Structure 1
Amino acid sequence: MHILDTQRLALREFTPQDAPFLLRLVNEPGWLRNINDPGVRTLDDALAWAEGRLFKAYRELGHGFWAVERRDDGTLVGMCGLFKRPALPEPDIGYALLAEHEGRGYALEAARGCVAHARDALGWKTLMAITALDNPPSVALLAKLGFIEQGQEQLEGYNEPSRVFRLAL
């Protein structure tokens, strides 16, 4: 299901056919360092992870983390979206790209689209975001979007403390 378009990108719901991409994405060094290790090692693992982490949210919440594709050629470059984590009081934004697509402004462009979607389509008043303690690129991206750091918290389900950010929409 198509969600939104930006100048260069299209965001859509992931499908089971995206399992090879998801397997690759969640095993990227940047994902493992800055997000977590979900233990996804096979295509079957990727499908199970997608069902529990992506497809279930689409069905139950009507939003979630979406596939980010280049509009000109349909290449999947990453994920970006909106999610309500049990550990946070309000919905948050998250994003991740394959390393080969970093540095081209895709994460910022996709995140801007998701912020607008949260405000305009979903009517939300606030968004949150979290990063690893040492993730300067994500902190810089959130600052460009106008997020304000709220401090550090040890969130349930995470091994290390997270930096927590908030944006009034």
Structure 2
Amino acid sequence: MPRLELLRFDHAPAVLDFERENRAYFAASVPDRGDEYFAHFDERHHALMAEQDTGLCLFHVLVDGSGAVVGRVNLVDVAEGSAELGYRIAEKAAGRGVATAAVREACGLAATAYGLTTLRAVTTLDNPGSRAVLARTGFVSTGEIRLDGRPGLRFLRDLRTPA
């Protein structure tokens, strides 16, 4: 099973490969990052590292045995014991429990290493895989929202109770 690691500067080439290899796959369910993201990837990666240094965001990569990135799991807008969880898993790793395991591990880190008590997440209604991962990891739907014009759901996970 891949291991979850806090994002570092030296992850940049593997993250860029991951994003390029999965661009079309991700664009089917989430808004595309756009050409600018790839054209200015190095600056973007440095900006993420600077943001992580503030403690407001905690970016993670899911790395397989060969050192390739097969997923990303991020905790953003960290404040007052809470953060928003976001994740994306490579197409080649989808459907094998990788996302569920990564989100479970991120929830554990959020509670123990980062001292958080709640996590929020959102997904679109047309992303049943993401909704299933959130349900399996203890997230509860708290209401409907719109994400980039698409219907979606908001979720909450109380880290003080077992999933």
Bucket of the pairwise TM-score, normalised by the shorter protein: 0.7 to 0.9
Contact kept in structure 2, 1:81 and 1:94, CA below 8 Å: yes
Report the TM-score when normalising by structure 1: 0.77
Query: Structure 1 residue runs of 4+, over 6 Å off?
Result: none
Write the mapping of 1:1-169 to structure 2, written as runs, cut at 5 A: 8-15=2-9, 18-19=12-13, 21-22=15-16, 24-25=18-19, 28-40=23-35, 43-52=38-47, 54-61=48-55, 63-70=57-64, 72-84=65-77, 90-154=82-146, 158-169=148-159
TM-superposed CA distance for 1:10, in Å, is: 3.4
Tell me the distance in 2 between the aligned counterparts of 1:25 and 1:59: 23
Contact kept in structure 2, 1:65 and 1:94, CA below 8 Å: no
Residue 3 of structure 1 corresponds to none
Percent identity, aligned pairs only?
26
DSSP-derived class of the 2:155 partner: strand
CA RMSD of aligned residues (A): 2.8
Report the TM-score when normalising by structure 2: 0.79
Tell me the distance in 2 between the aligned counterparts of 1:116 and 1:38: 28
Unaligned runs of 5+ in 2: none
Unaligned runs of 5+ in 1: 1-6
Contact kept in structure 1, 2:56 and 2:77, CA below 8 Å: no
> Relative to 1, partners in 2 of residues 1:85 and 1:46: Cα closer, same or farther, differing over 3 Å?
farther
DSSP-derived class of the 2:150 partner: coil
Tell me the distance in 2 between the aligned counterparts of 1:113 and 1:123: 14
Tell me the distance in 2 between the aligned counterparts of 1:56 and 1:154: 30
| Number of equivalences | 157
